[in-house]
């Protein structure tokens, strides 16, 4: 974009949790944001600046809608300072973080080093993980997903990404959460999906192929979203990561020079949860399905479908998310007591949308 007050950004909203390209103009009354869904005006009163990584960039949040703009060009901040009548909320703290003096960073590292032995205790590490600023947790998750699913492995076909994003958006809209859920579809035949810290999720095309309906796919996604909401993933990772990577995370540099993303990716790929965590994710995922007007029994049928695919070894999803018969029986009991079908409205996708999605991930294509 050539105009002095015009900038390109990545817009994450409920329609596009994974983000879409937007063109943003800074005007005297706010931001004009043009994206695939049309153009809208963000007045100054609803804008908040969020802290970005040390390596640059700028993030602006629409506080009423929860939408997020991410800019690579930090010149947008100068344009906003010139046009806005008052500084945006969060601007001072965000600027302080971007321009933090190296001595401050070193001091944080020193404090973290002193606390290293304390952090090594699983309970203490879990307590620290639960107090991690959300913006840092998001960076933590981005680094992990980038390492596990590089651009070459990501599906970009909108016939696949848009329906999956629509399912995530419907589930996210059904329950208040501080997390901004974003999903990446990986071109991977393994029957798997996983949650990363900060609301980041990955769904493999192999899982979409196996699912018998959009609601079955939504059931797995709801289960993973519950792992995120309860911070099972972040806490478990904090209990297993090296001190070096914990230091990087504690100063907000999970994906920086300390190589946090690679180690997080390795730990995440082998992560398994306790039975208690799985029960919580089952119950919470089923409740989320009901809140979204979906048939929560689809979560059970999807688990049964995956067990039916067993050929010498469990599908990848069940190897890291164990689903013994006792756990499935407990989930069936809970669903029967809650009358899960009574809350079901329209399916997660129409039959036409579901057939199109399945055709788009067909291995013959």
135-180 per-position pLDDT tens digit: 778 877 887 888 888 889 999 999 999 999 999 999 999 988 888 8
Instruction: Specify burial of residue 305 (Cβ count, 10 A radius: 0-12, 13-18, 19+).
Output: middle
Mean pLDDT of 240-252: 56
Mean pLDDT value of segment 19-23 = 84
All structural domains of the chain with their residue ranges: 6-97, 111-360
Alpha carbon distance 201, 265 (integer Å): 13
pLDDT at 165 (0 to 100): 95
Q: Of 25-39, 85-99, 205-219, 333-347, which has the strongest mean pLDDT?
A: 205-219
Structure tokens, 76? 């947008």
Higher pLDDT among residues 197 and 255, named by residue: 197
CA distance linking residue 184 with residue 152, whole number of Å: 12
Which of 3.10.590, 1.10.3470, 2.30.29, 1.25.40 would CATH assign to domain 6-97? 2.30.29
User: With contact defined as beta carbons under 8 Å apart, do 83 and 26 qualify?
Assistant: yes
pLDDT (0 to 100) of residue 110: 47
CA distance 251 to 365: 45
Instruction: Return the bridge partners of 69, or none.
Output: 11, 60
User: Over 50: is that where the pLDDT of 184 sits?
Assistant: yes
Tokens of 312: 């010498």
Q: Is the pTM of this model over 0.85?
A: no
Is residue 256 over pLDDT 80? no
**Residue 28 pLDDT greater than 50, yes or no:** yes
Determine the distance from the C-alpha atom of residue 199 to the mean position of all C-alpha atoms in its chain, rounded to a whole number.
3
- Letter string b/e over residues 167-190, b meaning 16 or more CB atoms within 10 A of that residue's CB: bbbbbbebeebebbbbbbbbbbee
Sheet strand arrangement including 200-204 = 182-186, 200-204, 193-196
pLDDT of residue 96: 45
């Amino acid at each position: 974009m050539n105009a002095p007050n015009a900038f390109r950004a990545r817009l994450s909203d409920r329609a596009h949790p994974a983000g879409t390209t937007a063109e943003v103009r800074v005007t005297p009354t706010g931001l004009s944001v043009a994206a695939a869904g049309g153009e809208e005006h963000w007045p100054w009163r609803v804008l908040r600046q969020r802290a970005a990584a040390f390596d640059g960039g700028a993030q602006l949040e629409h506080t009423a809608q929860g939408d997020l703009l991410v800019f690579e060009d930090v010149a947008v901040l100068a344009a906003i300072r010139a046009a806005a009548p008052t500084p945006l909320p969060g601007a001072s703290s965000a600027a302080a973080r971007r321009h933090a003096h190296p001595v401050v960073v070193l001091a944080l590292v020193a404090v973290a080093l002193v606390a290293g032995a304390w952090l090594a205790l699983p309970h203490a590490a879990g307590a620290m993980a639960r107090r991690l600023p959300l913006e840092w947790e998001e960076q933590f998750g981005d680094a992990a997903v980038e390492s596990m699913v590089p651009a070459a492995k990501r599906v970009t076909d909108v016939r696949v990404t848009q329906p999956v994003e629509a399912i995530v958006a419907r589930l996210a809209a059904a329950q208040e959460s501080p997390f901004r859920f974003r999903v990446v579809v990986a071109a991977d035949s393994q029957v798997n999906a996983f949650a990363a810290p900060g609301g980041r999720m990955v769904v493999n095309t192999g899982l979409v192929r196996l699912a018998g309906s959009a609601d079955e796919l939504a059931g797995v996604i709801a289960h993973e979203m519950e792992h995120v909401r309860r911070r099972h993933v972040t806490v478990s990772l904090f209990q297993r990561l090296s001190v070096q990577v914990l230091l990087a995370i504690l100063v907000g540099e999970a994906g920086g020079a300390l190589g946090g993303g690679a180690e997080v990716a390795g730990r995440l790929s082998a992560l398994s949860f306790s039975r208690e965590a799985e029960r919580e994710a089952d119950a919470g995922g089923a409740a989320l399905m009901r809140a979204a007007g979906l048939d929560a029994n689809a979560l059970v049928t999807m688990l049964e479908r995956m067990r039916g695919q067993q050929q010498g070894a469990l599908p990848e999803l069940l190897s890291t998310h164990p689903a013994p018969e006792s756990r499935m029986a407990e989930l069936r009991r809970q669903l029967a007591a809650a009358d899960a079908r009574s809350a079901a409205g329209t399916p997660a996708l129409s039959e036409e949308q579901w057939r199109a999605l399945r055709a788009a991930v067909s291995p013959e294509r």
